A and B are shown apart, each in its own frame.
Chain A
Amino acid sequence: MRAVIAEDSVLLRVGLVKVLEAVGHEVVAAVGDAEELLAAVAEHQPQVVVVDVRMPPGFTDEGVRAALVIRRQWPEVAVLLLSQFVEERYASDLLSANTSGVGYLLKQRVANVDDFVEALQRVAEGGTALDPEVVSQLLIRRDTDPLRRLTPRERDVLALMAEGRSNAAIAQTLVVSDSAVAKHINAIFAKLDLPSADVTHRRVLAVLHFLGVA
């Protein structure tokens, strides 16, 4: 898989290149700011880009804006945003057009290489990877009545679904059986009045749509 990395901290950029190469991806460009990123994407047409939110020159949300440009101009390129902190508005911006091939993770998550690689994989394959903190912020913001009807367990399942995880992954995280997860999900869909679907990211789309993001 061909990837482009945009991260202004040299230390992390080198680390990210090493991680991606170690799991067999090809890093075609590793750049330090948003302009270089757009140029690199135009030149190399990668499958996935990993973008730091805060980059020179302004150190505010250059990464998010670059990611939005990429999603508009090259919709087939998957984008994984890395951020110092979660900000649900970034997530909303990013997810509002399309939830396929999008990820938004806290920067510190790259320290857990396995999780990070798994999330990157998911995004590259057209799935979604949202940081648990993003999801819980979204849940808080949309604390509307239907959500209150959910049991705490169902809320946990909903949060994991919104992160972009598969049934199997949810079952593993919550240490329950696959069928129990399926049962919870059906209950959530019923309570939230969402149509059921079997492709992972469409499920996320449905959830996020309910949460008011998409």
Chain B
Amino acid sequence: MSPSIFHRAVQRAAAHAPWSAAARRDTLLLAAGVPLSAPVLILLGLPRLWFVLVAFLPCLDLLSVAQRSRLRALRGLLIPSRAPRNAGWWGKVRAGLTWRQFLYHLVVAPLQTLGALLVLAGWGIGLVMATVLGWIWLMPAGAPLQSRPGWAVADGWTTLGGAALLFLTPWLAALLSRFEEWAAGSLLGLNRAELLQRRVEDLAESRAGVVDAADAERRRIERDLHDGAQQRLVSLAMNLGLARRTLKDVPAEAMRVIVEAHEEAQAAIDELRDLVRGLHPVVLEDRGLDAALSGIAARCPVPVRLDIDLSDDIAPTVEAVAYFTVSEALTNAAKHSRASRVELSIRQRDGRLHIQIHDDGIGGADAARGTGLTGLRKRAASVDGTLAVTSPHGGPTTITAELPCEL
């Protein structure tokens, strides 16, 4: 035996000594489990009382809650609850009624309780046995226990046995509490499929949060530009226009500069307006999707036929995605398709938004190549929507998108 192995064995033994913190913690955990499953144990022991178990069924979930709380408080073990977060009472009870819960509460926990009683007995009996010599020695001289022949030897063995029991009990407690942690974790917690489902729910929630936050940020920037820079630019252009109109006796050279500055300012306003619109159009916020869509349709150089039928319970982020999808599709149609007409249809059906943009152009749009279309597809995917493009060479092109109305 190498010194290091010996050293480690000593360390492990010390860690499980009767006075160690681990021994105290394990015993506490097991003892706390006794009142939770002792009633079950008694019920199981009674003959012909199985019908009581039926009344006991709805309590299973409460018991699970208590057991989880015990493990969290005494072990820091977080066992996720199986019930969906917003499930009502019945949903919670139903989630509790699985064979794994039954197995835990009706088999594992009672066995565990027996083990716990064994551990407690080990401590008690061990303590009494280990101190038996002391008790006898404390007795007044001539007491009957002391008069037995060879008592010192027999009771010496008893004391040794008690000490051994005291040293063995922590190991049993450690073993049982390990088993407890494992059993509770795998029977009261979630199985793999449930874990994955919970993870998907968490991810969907956090993604919705991120998408919303990005959208809110865009809106804030838009608002700042609109109320700040744009107003200033308009004011500047107005002043330049005024100067251009009222200053009569300035040199031609100076007037040319003023005129140029005025035109520059107006161009800057137009550019800023396009930029702001690309972030998040004000009209979308103030007047909703319908109004915003007629706005882009009106600005499209290709004649657009609108067919919009919307109620108003659409998440703002989804509205933004729909808006940009239509906007980009119309821009593409105007730039590349050589179309003479565009048909735009948006309908709301079964909680989903169906968008179709159809043009009679030359086709050849490819979602795999066109960065604009790829962006649109990603944007649709960010709210769990889909986007499909059919655009054979020679046309026509149809873009269909389907978005959920609520995130």
Contact = CB atoms under 8 A, between A and B. Distances in A.
Contacts of A133: 295, 298-299
Interface residues of B, number: 36
B219 interface: no
A108 B291 CA distance: 19
Given A15-B238, A140-B294, A141-B306, A22 B299 contact: no
Contacts of A85: 281-283, 286-287, 295
B298 A113 contact: no
A140 B301 CA distance: 12
A22 B246 contact: yes
B121 interface: no
A165 interface: no
B234 A12 contact: yes
A30 B306 CA distance: 40
A114 interface: yes
A184 interface: no
B232 interface: yes
A137 B306 CA distance: 10
B286 A60 contact: yes
A80 to B, nearest CB: 15
A206 B303 CA distance: 23
B231 A11 contact: yes
Contacts of A89: 287, 291
A136 B281 CA distance: 18
Contacts of A19: 238, 241-242
B242 A22 contact: yes
A111 to B, nearest CB: 3
Interface string B210-231: 0000000000000000110011
Contacts of B266: 108, 111-112
A18 interface: yes
A87 interface: yes
Interface in A81-124: 84-89, 107-108, 110-114, 117
A111 B238 contact: yes
A15 B298 contact: no
B326 interface: no
A19 B226 CA distance: 22
A12 B230 CA distance: 11
Interface in B278-333: 281-283, 286-287, 291, 294-295, 297-299, 303-306
B168 to A, nearest CB: 77
B239 interface: yes
A137 B226 contact: no
B291 A15 contact: no
B92 interface: no
A45 to B, nearest CB: 27
Contacts of B294: 88, 137, 140-141
Contact of B245 (A11, A108, A113, A143): A113
A125 to B, nearest CB: 20
B82 interface: no
B255 interface: no
A16 B245 CA distance: 14
B245 A110 contact: no
Contacts of B295: 85-87, 133, 137
B235 interface: yes
B291 A87 contact: yes
Contacts of A84: 226, 282-283
Contact of A107 (B234, B241, B283): B234
A151 interface: no
Given A85-B283, A87-B287, A133-B299, A110 B234 contact: yes
Given A22-B246, A133-B299, A112 B241 contact: yes
A9 interface: yes
A54 interface: yes
B393 to A, nearest CB: 27
B239 A15 contact: yes
A18 to B, nearest CB: 6
Interface string A66-87: 0000000000000000001111
A34 to B, nearest CB: 16
B204 interface: no
A118 to B, nearest CB: 11
B303 A114 contact: no
Given A133-B299, A137-B294, A114 B245 contact: yes
Contacts of A86: 283, 295, 298
Residue of A84, A111, A117 with highest tally of chain B CB at under 10 A? A111
Contacts of A22: 242, 245-246
A113 B227 CA distance: 21
Interface string A129-150: 0000100110111010000000
Interface in B113-149: none
Contacts of A143: 303, 305-306
A127 to B, nearest CB: 21
A18 B232 CA distance: 15
Nearest to A106: B273
A114 B226 CA distance: 24
B235 A113 contact: no
Interface of B: 226-227, 230-235, 237-239, 241-242, 244-246, 265-266, 269-270, 273, 281-283, 286-287, 291, 294-295, 297-299, 303-306
Given A9-B227, A15-B235, A112-B241, 4 more contacts: A12-B235, A18-B238, A54-B286, A140-B298
8 contacts: A9-B231, A12-B234, A19-B241, A84-B226, A85-B295, A110-B238, A112-B241, A113-B244
Q: When A and B form their complex, which 3 residue pairs have the shortest distance between CB atoms, in order from nearest? A: A113-B241, A111-B237, A137-B298
